[in-house]
Amino acid sequence: MKRRITAALLAVVLVMSLTFLSSASGGTTSDPVVSKSYVDTTFFESVIASAVAKAEAAISSFKTEYAKKISSVTTGAISGDALVEKTAEAVLLDLQSKGRYLYSTAYMQPKSFASGDVLSGRAGTTVIISEGSVKCASGSVINITQGKEISKGSALGRYTAFMFPETGGEIEIISKSAKVLVDGVYSQSGYEPKYMDEAYALKKLGLVRGAAEGMELSRGNTRAESITMLIRLLGEEEPALAAAHKHPFVDVDKWAQRYVGYAYRMGYTKGVTNTRYDGSSLTTATQYMTFVLRSLGYSEESGDFQYLTAISDAVRLGVIPQSVATELNAVEFKRDHVMHISYLAMSAKVKGSDRTLLSKLVSKGAVSSDAANEFLSR
């Protein structure tokens, strides 16, 4: 930060110096307009003081302009990482609404998108689809690999470079999720995560790993990801990874093999057919709430809850408040909601006990005492 400030001040000093000297009349090395000592001391000191004053005024103006936005994302306990990300997001969205700036990448970066998300690019922005299905939503894009124009409504092939033309354009995600490499200036519309801070808290507990591009809170949660989270909430990830239980499914991704095998062996999950698990299909709020209730020791067989009423049953059992149930029944279920439900479950009581799920995980060695204490001190 000091280097940036120093560089900025030197740039201001140089510009002001050149402006001053260019406006002076005449002068040679033997007969300068002003003395070297004056330039080295009085002049530069006054310029630096003026630059610092202007910088402080700009910072003050920034704080005033974004005070409400920063305040709105700092209600209650919040981690430093989440504060920075949420504040930056609020500022960027405000600037975008004024037509001043969009997200800008300095090199090709992988970004995750969910179904219905739209990426708008300025002229010259380049995208490459690595996963999922994407179409040209408006205007056109240029297939720079083949040198031809792709019109509105047409699908964009994978592993091909597409560039937005002079007028810009939009592409839309039409699969459940997608990963796109982006280079340039763009904006994104879609679901905005609300529970980022809680996701960070769960990550510190070791219950969330996150993907290379982040925790991808704006997309749906797959069946494979949900069963993995259930195993972690049960405190059984270590035995699951240590074992290599077989299962009959032919469509399980490599990373999920041990999780699915363990869950199948323990009776936590079944396939959609005798040979297909369908781990890439998305989990509903009801399905995930069922997993959470099971991790707390409740079961359908004992009459604790019913699958179809798992959300309202979770309210009755004190796992979530009614406001969360109302939200889950009204929105498309995202990984963001998975984090929120899992976060609330940490404080929920295990069936027939005064212990919370978090204390249960600590006693099983799935979460460290230090991490749990940090979580509780939030």
DSSP states of 342-359: HHHHTTSBPTTSS-BHHH
Give mean pLDDT, residues 98-125.
Answer: 74
- The verdict on 145 and 279 lying in the same domain is no
In the chain, what percentage of residues exceed pLDDT 90?
A: 45
Residue 271's pLDDT band, with cuts at 50, 70 and 90, is: confident
177-183 vs 126-131, strand pairing mode = antiparallel
CATH of the domain at 116: 2.60.120.10
Residue 37's pLDDT band, with cuts at 50, 70 and 90, is: low
Residue 63's pLDDT band, with cuts at 50, 70 and 90, is: low
In the chain, what percentage of residues exceed pLDDT 70?
A: 70
Cα torsion angle, 215, 221, 224, 225, sign: positive
- The verdict on 342 and 253 lying in the same domain is yes
More confident residue, 161 or 40: 161
Where among 157, 172, 189 does a domain terminate? 189
Distance CA 8, CA 14 (A): 10
- The verdict on 368 and 263 lying in the same domain is yes
User: How high does pLDDT run on average in the chain?
Assistant: 80
- The verdict on 234 and 127 lying in the same domain is no
Give mean pLDDT, residues 195-203.
Answer: 90
pTM of the model: 0.59
Domain residues for 354? Answer: 196-376
pLDDT value of residue 193: 81
Structurally, the chain folds into a number of domains equal to: 3
334 closest CA partner among 132, 174, 145, 194: 194
For the chain, the maximum distance between any two Cα atoms, rounded to a whole number of angstroms, is 99
- The verdict on 363 and 218 lying in the same domain is yes
- Please classify residue 56 by burial: count the beta carbons closer than 10 Å to its beta carbon, then call 0-12 exposed, 13-18 middle and 19+ buried: exposed
Is residue 297 scored above 60 in pLDDT? yes
Residue 99's pLDDT band, with cuts at 50, 70 and 90, is: very low
Most confident among 6-15, 59-68, 244-253 (mean pLDDT): 244-253
Residue 377's pLDDT band, with cuts at 50, 70 and 90, is: confident
- Please classify residue 217 by burial: count the beta carbons closer than 10 Å to its beta carbon, then call 0-12 exposed, 13-18 middle and 19+ buried: buried
pLDDT tens digit sequence for 222-261: 899 999 999 999 999 999 999 889 999 999 999 999 999 9
Count of Cβ atoms closer than 10 Å to residue 371 Cβ: 17
- The verdict on 84 and 140 lying in the same domain is no
Distance CA 150, CA 135 (A): 9
Where among 139, 169, 189 does a domain terminate? 189
Distance CA 356, CA 343 (A): 12
Distance CA 66, CA 61 (A): 9
